[in-house]
């Protein structure tokens, strides 16, 4: 049994990624920690608790940091809906997280499963940065750290140069990428190419099961944003394809070990993941950057998860 620790700002695509991990055969999700990002912290907590409940699992959910390190929180509710889950009338209230702070849980869980834990980050890296600041040693105790964030090769989805998770707290991302964690970065460019669902593909997923209906239904706002703003044929699922790479590394079909720097100064390129593809800087590589992925394997994992 493999041990996973998932840090998330639970909105519509995060929830699908949680479904995939919670229903994967040889994975035990030890904890889900919540960070503010797509939605305010308390909404992210409720959305995660509801998703765990839908999967009929007993996994603790912990609240973490409610804002980025140095900046005000700028949510993505205009992308995911005010509740983060497509505003389809789900009962996303009244559930209680497990007592304890996410940062403490991250540190404790990594130590408890030293050398065996897979850390998957689906939101801004605020919780992870603070955990590393408090206990830098944990960077050496993680087996794999799969980050949904940034852009390996291409353009952004929040500003032209950056992806949302890195853009919302670039200072945290800088700490994490410079920490020595064994990072696999799955950027938004991978999602755009390999995890976009047109209406026909979405219906196929919807019709698989009640969980499939849930996974598609909550993308209502995301689909609108994808079609109207990004020029996609439907919605894309960044966090789920990153989760597929975490669950099965073979889902990443082209990965390069490269140096990734994070831009924190410029407002024009704030949050840009500056990937040194050519080795121009002579900086030591600090991340495995996923550039191509298997849509077929991603779909297999996703379909198996929603079928239960």
Give the whole-angstrom CA distance, residue 277 versus residue 285.
10
Give the whole-angstrom CA distance, residue 250 versus residue 225.
30
Q: Per-residue pLDDT for 308 more than 90? A: no
Q: Per-residue pLDDT for 93 more than 90? A: yes
Chain segment 133-173, per-residue pLDDT in tens: 999 999 999 999 999 999 999 999 999 999 999 999 999 99
Label residue 268 exposed, middle or buried (CB < 10 Å: 0-12, 13-18, 19+). exposed
Query: Above pLDDT 90, what percent of the chain?
Result: 100
Give the whole-angstrom CA distance, residue 263 versus residue 274.
7
**Mean pLDDT, residues 89-106 taken together:** 98
Radius of gyration of the chain (CA): 17
Chain segment 7-60, per-residue pLDDT in tens: 999 999 999 999 999 999 999 999 999 999 999 999 999 999 999 999 999 999
Which own/partner pairs from 131-135 qualify as long-range (CB within 8 Å, at least 24 positions apart)? 131/103, 131/106, 131/107, 132/175, 132/176, 132/179, 132/181, 133/175, 134/103, 134/107, 135/107
The secondary structure element, H or E, covering residue 43 is helix 41-54
Q: Count up the domains in the chain and report the number.
A: 1
Give the whole-angstrom CA distance, residue 165 versus residue 171.
11
Q: Per-residue pLDDT for 98 more than 90? A: yes
Give the whole-angstrom CA distance, residue 267 versus residue 160.
11
The pLDDT score that the predictor gives to residue 205 is: 98
Cβ-proximal residues to 72 (8 Å cutoff; 6+ apart), any chain: none
Cβ-proximal residues to 234 (8 Å cutoff; 6+ apart), any chain: 196, 197, 198, 199, 201, 202, 223, 226, 227
Cβ-proximal residues to 280 (8 Å cutoff; 6+ apart), any chain: none
Half-sphere exposure of 260 (CA within 13 A, CB side): 35
CATH, residue 35:
3.90.245.10
The pLDDT score that the predictor gives to residue 73 is: 98
Output phi, psi for 261, to 5 deg: -110, 155
Give the whole-angstrom CA distance, residue 268 versus residue 78.
21
10 Å Cβ neighbour count for 67? 18
Chain segment 260-307, per-residue pLDDT in tens: 999 999 999 999 999 999 999 999 999 999 999 999 999 999 999 999
Q: Do residues 245 and 186 lie in contact, with contact meaning Cβ atoms separated by under 8 Å?
A: yes
Mean pLDDT of the chain: 98
Give the whole-angstrom CA distance, residue 155 versus residue 161.
6
The secondary structure element, H or E, covering residue 29 is strand 27-34
Give buried/exposed letters for 271-307 (b at 16+ CB in 10 A, else e): bbbebbeeeeeeeeebbbbbbebbeebbbebbeebbe
Domain range for 40 is: 2-307
């Amino acid at each position: 049994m493999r041990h996973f620790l998932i840090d998330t700002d639970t909105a519509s695509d995060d929830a699908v990624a949680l479904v995939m991990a919670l229903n994967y055969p040889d994975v035990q999700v030890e904890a889900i920690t919540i960070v503010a990002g797509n939605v305010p912290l308390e909404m992210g907590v409720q959305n995660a608790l509801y998703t765990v409940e839908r999967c009929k699992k007993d996994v603790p959910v912990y609240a973490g940091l409610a804002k980025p390190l140095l900046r005000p929180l700028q949510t993505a509710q205009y992308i995911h809906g005010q509740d983060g889950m497509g505003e389809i009338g789900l009962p996303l209230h009244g559930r209680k997280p497990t007592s304890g702070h996410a940062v403490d849980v991250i540190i404790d869980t990594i130590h408890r499963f030293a050398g065996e834990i897979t850390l998957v980050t689906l939101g801004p890296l605020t919780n992870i940065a603070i955990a590393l600041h408090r206990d830098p040693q944990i960077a050496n105790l993680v087996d794999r750290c799969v980050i949904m964030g940034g852009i390996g090769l291409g353009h952004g989805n929040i500003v032209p140069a950056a992806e949302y998770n890195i853009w919302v707290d670039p200072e945290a991302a800088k700490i994490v990428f410079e920490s020595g964690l064994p990072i696999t970065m799955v950027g938004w460019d991978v999602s755009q190419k390999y995890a976009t669902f047109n209406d026909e593909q979405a219906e196929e997923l919807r019709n698989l099961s009640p969980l499939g209906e849930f996974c598609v239904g909550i993308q209502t706002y995301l689909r609108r944003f994808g079609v109207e703003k990004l020029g996609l044929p439907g919605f894309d699922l960044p966090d789920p394809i990153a989760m597929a790479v975490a669950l099965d590394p073979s889902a990443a079909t082209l990965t390069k070990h490269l140096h990734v720097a994070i831009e924190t100064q410029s407002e024009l390129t704030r949050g840009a993941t500056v990937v040194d593809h050519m080795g121009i800087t002579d900086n030591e590589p600090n991340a495995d950057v996923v550039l191509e992925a298997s849509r077929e394997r991603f779909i297999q994992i996703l379909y198996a998860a929603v079928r239960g």
